[in-house]
């Protein structure tokens, strides 16, 4: 995994997603959404969770492109937060917070989370075929790509299916 | 890509041209420019976004900051946002509070 700090995380997320998108042939819009979602998770871990370092990796398989982010911040499961609440408030009256998680939920096809060894492991998945059904149904973990870490145990049934909401 | 925000004010309209990537590291820079132009009486804030290539939630929070700093009487106009940036603005409902325009 690639270790990133607050000063490098944005650039490293962008570079990783650019590479994955090129390998998978993702269109510009979906590559942008994946980058945005990964950036939001990483930024959240650093700015709100106080993580010094976020570890990144990603991969491509036949059906999916994924990015895994791990951080040592306190427990934070992005699936447990209702991102739609922020939209109920007029933009002029909003307080900071919530927008990033909304972009995560709406930007990816699957949002997965595990707490592993006191670390948050968030997996963001984009389907290579945009017509593929959303949400896992007995999915197995993405098979490894040489040189890239593989998320283990992050694909539990019912863990995803957040994708596409509002977008 | 580095971020730039250049502003000028004329006849009650502040125009800020955004260039590059507006994210966590650069939002403070835009907020400072917004604070600077808002020191003058304004009726409109125009954000030129045709050269803005990336907008994260930190950048959206700059829109919240602009609203709160300028007040409801000041119209905020977003001009020329690229498709992905425009999608982020629309998805998060900010198109309800700003006017979205194509480039002139």
Closest CA to A83 of A4, A162, A3: A162
Closest Cα in chain B to A43: B24
Which chain A residues are closer than 8 Å to B63 by Cβ?
91
Mutation target vs B (from A10, A17, A30; most B CBs, 10 A cutoff) = A10
* pLDDT exceeds 60 at position A86: yes
Opening angle at CA A160, ends A149 and A46, nearest 5: 60
Residue A50 carries which DSSP code? -
How far does the CA of residue B65 sit from the closest CA of chain A (Å)? 8
How far does the CA of residue B47 sit from the closest CA of chain A (Å)? 16
- Segment B12-23 shows an average pLDDT of 97
Is residue A51 within 8 A of residue A73, CB to CB? The reply is yes
Q: Considering only residues A167 and B7, tell me which one the structure prediction assigns the higher pLDDT.
A: B7
How far does the CA of residue A83 sit from the closest CA of chain B (Å)? 10
Closest CA to A86 of A64, A102, A72: A102
* pLDDT exceeds 50 at position B65: yes
Mutation target vs B (from A26, A32, A54, A93; most B CBs, 10 A cutoff) = A32
- Main-chain phi, psi angles of A26, to 5 degrees: -65, 145
Closest CA to A18 of A28, A5, A8, A3: A28
B92 and A103 within 8 Å at the Cβ level: the answer is yes
A36 and B88 within 8 Å at the Cβ level: the answer is yes
Which chain A residues are closer than 8 Å to B97 by Cβ?
90-92
Which chain B residues are closer than 8 Å to A94 by Cβ?
64
ipTM of this complex: 0.92
**A36-59 tens-digit pLDDT:** 999 999 999 998 899 999 999 999
- Segment B79-88 shows an average pLDDT of 97
Closest Cα in chain A to B1: A11
**A122-146 tens-digit pLDDT:** 999 999 976 544 443 333 334 443 3
How far does the CA of residue B4 sit from the closest CA of chain A (Å)? 17
Closest CA to A62 of A131, A156, A143: A143
Q: Is the pTM of this model over 0.95?
A: no
């Amino acid at each position: 995994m690639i270790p990133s700090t607050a000063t490098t995380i944005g650039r490293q997320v962008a570079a990783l997603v650019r590479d994955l998108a090129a390998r998978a042939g993702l269109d510009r819009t979906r590559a942008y959404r994946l980058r945005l979602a990964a950036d939001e998770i990483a930024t959240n871990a650093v700015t709100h969770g106080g993580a010094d370092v976020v570890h990144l990796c990603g991969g491509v398989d036949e059906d999916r492109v994924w990015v895994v982010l791990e951080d040592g911040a306190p427990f934070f499961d992005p699936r447990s937060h209702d991102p739609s609440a922020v939209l109920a408030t007029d933009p002029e009256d909003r307080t900071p917070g919530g927008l990033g998680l909304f972009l995560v939920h709406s930007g990816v096809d699957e949002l997965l989370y595990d707490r592993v060894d006191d670390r948050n492991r968030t997996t963001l998945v984009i389907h290579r075929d945009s017509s593929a059904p959303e949400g896992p149904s007995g999915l197995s973990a993405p098979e490894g790509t040489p040189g890239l870490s593989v998320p283990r145990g992050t694909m539990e049934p019912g863990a995803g299916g957040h994708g596409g909401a509002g977008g | 890509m580095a971020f730039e925000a250049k502003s000028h004010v004329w006849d009650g309209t502040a125009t800020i041209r955004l260039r590059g990537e507006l994210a966590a590291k650069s939002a403070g820079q835009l907020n400072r420019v917004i604070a600077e132009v808002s020191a003058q009486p304004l009726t409109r804030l125009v954000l030129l976004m045709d050269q803005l290539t990336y907008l994260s939630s930190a950048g959206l929070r700059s829109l919240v900051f602009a609203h709160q700093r300028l007040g409801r009487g000041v119209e905020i106009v977003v001009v020329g946002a690229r498709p992905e940036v425009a999608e982020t603005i629309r998805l998060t409902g900010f198109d309800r509070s700003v006017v979205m325009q194509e480039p002139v």
